[in-house]
A and B are shown apart, each in its own frame.
Chain A
Amino acid sequence: MTDKTMTAQEVVSRLESGMTLGIGGWGSRRKPMALVRALLRSEITDLTVVSYGGPDVGMLAAAGRIRKLVAAFATLDSIPLEPHYRAARERGALELMEIDEAMFLWGLHAAANRLPFLPVRTGIGSDVMRVNPGLRTVTSPYDDGETLLAMPALRLDAALVHVNRADRRGNGQYLGPDPYFDDLFCAAAETAYVSCERIVDTAELTKEAAPQTLLIPRHTVTGVVEAPNGAHFTSCAPDYTRDETFQKHYATAPWPGFAERFLGEDEHAYRSAVRAWHEEGK
C-alpha cells in the first residue's frame, strides 16, 4: 500500500514557479487554505491560477504570486466582492482569462478526458469572446449546424483541494452538501494534493457515510495532507462554518500587516495567531 501522506511544506516543495495551479472549492467555501498559506510562505510565484475564486485568489493576488488568473468570478460569498483580488485587477497587477462558470466546468472536463476541447453553448455573443481573442468556435457536424464554443482543456500542472476526510492512500471524502468540482480538478491535473480535516483508516470512511461521499479517487491523487481546520476561514460543512468575523478582518485589513501577523511560520503559528485575534475581540 502506498502511503501518500505528507506535510503542506512537502507539497509546496514539489511545486514550482510558473506552474498552472488549479484550486478547488467555490468562493469562500471549502478552499484548501492551509495549502494556500503554505504556498504563501514559500517563494513560489509567476503562477497561473485556475479557480472558482475566493480568498485563495485574493491572497495569492495580494502577495503578487499570480501572473495569470483563469476564473469566472472571485467572491467571499457573505462579502460579495473579493477586495484584494479587486485591488489587484484595478492596478492591472495580473493577466485574466475571464470565462463563465460553464466554460470553466467544460474546460476541466476536457482536461480530465484528455480532449483538446469540448463544445459548449456559451460565450458566443458575449464579450467573453472579445476579451479572450484566442477562443475558437466549432460547427456541429450534424444536421443542426449549430456554432458552439470550443472550450479549450484547462490542463493543470497541479491541483490543490480540501475535503473532510481522506485515507493514507488518497481516497478523499466530502461530507457537506456540495462536491463543488474537486474531483475534476484532481482528474484534470498532472499531480493533485488533497488536504483533509482528518486522515482515517479506509474502513472508517464508509462506516457512517454512504460510498458516494467518496468524491476523490486515489489514482488521481499524489499527496494527502492532514490539515485540521485547513479550510479556515472558509466553510467546511459539516465540520465548521465560515469564520465570518475573521473573514471580515481579512477583507478590511491591509494585506502586508495581515500577512505578517497571521501567516507565521506554519499552521500552528497561524492557528495561535487567529486564536489570539479572537481573544482580543471578546
Chain B
Amino acid sequence: MNPTPPPTRAEYCVLACAEAWRGAGEILASPMGLIPSIGARLARHTFAPDLLLTDGEATLVDADGNAEGWLPYRRHLTLVTGGRRHVMMGASQIDRHGNQNIACVGDWAKPSRQLLGVRGAPVNTLNNPTSYWIPRHSRRVFVERVDMVCGVGHDRAARHPETARFHHLARVVSDLGVFDFATPDRSMRVASLHPGVTVEQVREATGFELTIPAEVPQTRAPTPEELRLVREVIDPANTREREVRI
C-alpha cells in the first residue's frame, strides 16, 4: 500500500477555513470561493455537524446534498440580520483593522478599477460573524488603507458600540497563514502560519505592520480522516489545488 501523500498547502487552507465554523452550532455557513466551500463541508462532516449548508442557490442541503430547506435571497438576507450565520467572504483589499473592500480600486467617484460593489459586506459585518479568505497574500490585498470600506473593521465598529454590538470578525485565512484580531487595539495578528511559510515572507507580503507573537504556531495539520474526507468525499476532482498553488 502506498503511503498517504502529506497535506498540501491547499489542504492546510481548507482546514484553516473549516476551523472558522468550529463550535458554531446550528447556523448557516456561507462560504464564498472554492477553498472556504470545501472547508465548510469538511466542518459539517466532522466537528460542526449541525451547520446549515446551501447548494449555492436557494436550497439548504445536508452533507450528502439532499434538500432540507429553502433559502432564497430574501430569506438569506433575513437570516443575516438574525445573526445565525457565519460568512467567509473574499477581499480585494483588507487593512490591519479588518476593513474590507470589494467595491472598487481608486477614487470611488471615478474608480480606476470597478469591482463587484459593496454587495452584502456592510450588513454582514454588523450582524453575523464574518471571516475572510484571501487566496494570494500580497501587498496589493493587505493594504495600509482600503479605498472603500465595505466590510466594517474593528476601529470603525468601535465608534458605533450600540449599532455594532454583534460585530465579530473571526479570522482571516490566506495562502500563507491564519490571522486574527486578538490584540489590545483589535488589529491584525498572526495566529498561525502554514508549514513552510516564514515570518519574513508574511511581513514582506503585507502592506501594514502585523502583530507577530514571540512563538508563532503552525496551522494544524488535517487528521488522516479529515484528509480522506477532503480527497475522497468532498473534492475528489482536486479543484482545491487550482485556487492555491504552492
A123 CA / B126 CA spacing, docked (Å): 8
A33 CA / B160 CA spacing, docked (Å): 42
- Contacts A121-B123, A147-B162, A177-B72 supplied; 19 other A-B pairs, CB < 8 Å: A74-B117, A81-B114, A86-B113, A92-B109, A99-B118, A100-B123, A100-B150, A101-B123, A121-B127, A125-B125, A128-B118, A131-B108, A145-B162, A146-B162, A148-B163, A177-B57, A178-B57, A179-B74, A180-B73
Which of A73, A125, A144 has the most B CB atoms < 10 Å from its CB? A125
Which of A72, A99, A145, A181 has the most B CB atoms < 10 Å from its CB? A72
> A99-B118, A102-B123, A126-B121 in contact; A181/B73 too (CB < 8 A)?
yes
**Per-residue B-contact encoding for A175-192, CB less than 8 Å = 1, 0 else:** 001111100000000000
Contact B119 A101 (CB under 8 A): yes
Selected contact of A125 from candidates B57, B80, B108, B157, CB within 8 Å: B157
Check if A16 is an interface residue, CB within 8 A of chain B. no
Check if A26 is an interface residue, CB within 8 A of chain B. yes
Main secondary structure of the interface of A (DSSP, over half): loop
Ordered nearest first, which 8 A-B pairs have the shortest CB separation?
A73-B117, A122-B123, A102-B123, A177-B58, A125-B152, A89-B114, A126-B122, A178-B72
Contact A147 B150 (CB under 8 A): no
Check if A211 is an interface residue, CB within 8 A of chain B. no
Contact A80 B116 (CB under 8 A): yes
Closest to B101 in A: A127
Check if A46 is an interface residue, CB within 8 A of chain B. no
Check if B111 is an interface residue, CB within 8 A of chain A. yes
Which of B77, B127, B151 has the most A CB atoms < 10 Å from its CB? B77
State the total of A-B contacts with C-beta under 8 angstroms. 136
A63 CA / B97 CA spacing, docked (Å): 41
For residue B128, give the distance in angstroms from its CB to the closest CB of chain A: 11
Check if B159 is an interface residue, CB within 8 A of chain A. yes
List 5 contacting pairs A-B, 8 Å CB cutoff, sorted by A: A105-B77, A121-B123, A131-B148, A177-B57, A180-B73
Contact A105 B74 (CB under 8 A): yes
Contact B110 A90 (CB under 8 A): yes
Check if B164 is an interface residue, CB within 8 A of chain A. yes
B-to-A contact residues, CB < 8 Å = 57-59, 70, 72-74, 77, 80-81, 103-104, 108-123, 125-127, 148-152, 156-157, 159-160, 162-166
Closest to A140 in B: B162
> A90-B110, A100-B123 in contact; A125/B159 too (CB < 8 A)?
yes
Contact B114 A124 (CB under 8 A): no
User: Which residues A88-141 have CB closer than 8 A to chain B?
Assistant: 89-92, 98-103, 105, 120-128, 130-131
A181 CA / B159 CA spacing, docked (Å): 33
Contact B118 A98 (CB under 8 A): yes
Chain A residues within 8 Å of B104, by CB: 89
Contact B163 A147 (CB under 8 A): yes
